[in-house]
Amino acid sequence: MTTHVLGDTGVLTGRSLRHILRSPDTIITTAVTPIALMLLFVYVFGGAINTGSGESYVNYMLPGILLITIASGVAYTAYRLFLDMQGGIFERFQSMPIARSSVLWAHVLTSLAANLVSVALVIGVALIMGFRTGASGAAWLAVAGILVLFTLALTWIAVIAGLSAKTVDGASAFSYPLIFLPFISSAFAPTDSMPGPVAWFAENQPVTSIVNTIRALFAQEPVGSDIWIALAWLVGILVVAYAFANAIYRRKIS
């Protein structure tokens, strides 16, 4: 049974990846907005922002830009899933001996692959702009693990949006709050520089602990409790989103 599920997931993931390869502008478009934001903040606003950390501003704000990259990218998952639903692909899959769970997992794994490529592009541009880190291989693996968890959590939210949307615009609109969330966090400026209520929200929302963890790993500093808070948020969101997505999917195909 497990082999059957893995085989079906592999075939359907290959199908989704071929769609991405036929239109690589999807990945390029996903990376363009975060890169533009990075250029804007570093070369226009960066000199006016006092982070109090003593590090270059591109180093300070890169973790937040990476999260924005992923938040932008998962919108395409909702969009592609919505088109599959409207195009009757799911009905055709139901008439075939295919594991039902493999249909959703194919979209999720495609999102993971596409977003990791976008993240690599953004990091490449950041290096050109002066980003530097002495992080060890283990620290890079930890950063990669956090970004993978973040991508999976947001992608399952995208699956919910893709399955529930009534229009194409509605399928991708869910990503706007996710893209905006890093701006009200420690991603671009210290939270203690914000007004009281805004600072409280920034300090207690998931993006801040994720950004602080990635920033500490890049800077070779102790991550403290931030990593456990970040993991708790990510695993919690992932589990809840996965459960809701599968419940909606079962209702749709029943």
Q: What is the pLDDT of residues 32-61, one digit of tens each?
A: 888 888 888 888 876 667 666 667 889 999
> Which pair of tokens denotes residue 201?
């929200």
Q: How far apart are CA 17 and CA 3, in angstroms?
A: 21
Tell whether the model's pLDDT for residue 169 goes beyond 80: no
**Element (DSSP H or E) covering residue 201:** helix 196-204
pLDDT attached to residue 44 = 80
Q: How far is CA 100 from CA 49, 69, 79, 199, 241, in A?
A: 50, 30, 20, 44, 18
Nearest to 9 by CA among 88, 71, 122, 101: 101
What is the torsional sign of CA 125, 131, 133, 139?
negative
Q: How far apart are CA 19 and CA 26, in angstroms?
A: 10
- Residues above pLDDT 70, as percent of the chain: 78
Residue 55 vs residue 16, higher pLDDT:
55
> Strand locations in the chain, DSSP E?
none
| Mean pLDDT score of the chain | 83
Q: What is the pTM of this model?
A: 0.88
Nearest to 36 by CA among 169, 179, 157: 179
Residues 6+ apart with CB under 8 A from 186: 64, 202, 203, 208, 211, 212
Q: How far apart are CA 209 and CA 202, in angstroms?
A: 10
Nearest to 237 by CA among 181, 187, 194: 181
The distance from CA 197 to its chain's CA centroid, rounded to whole angstroms, is: 26
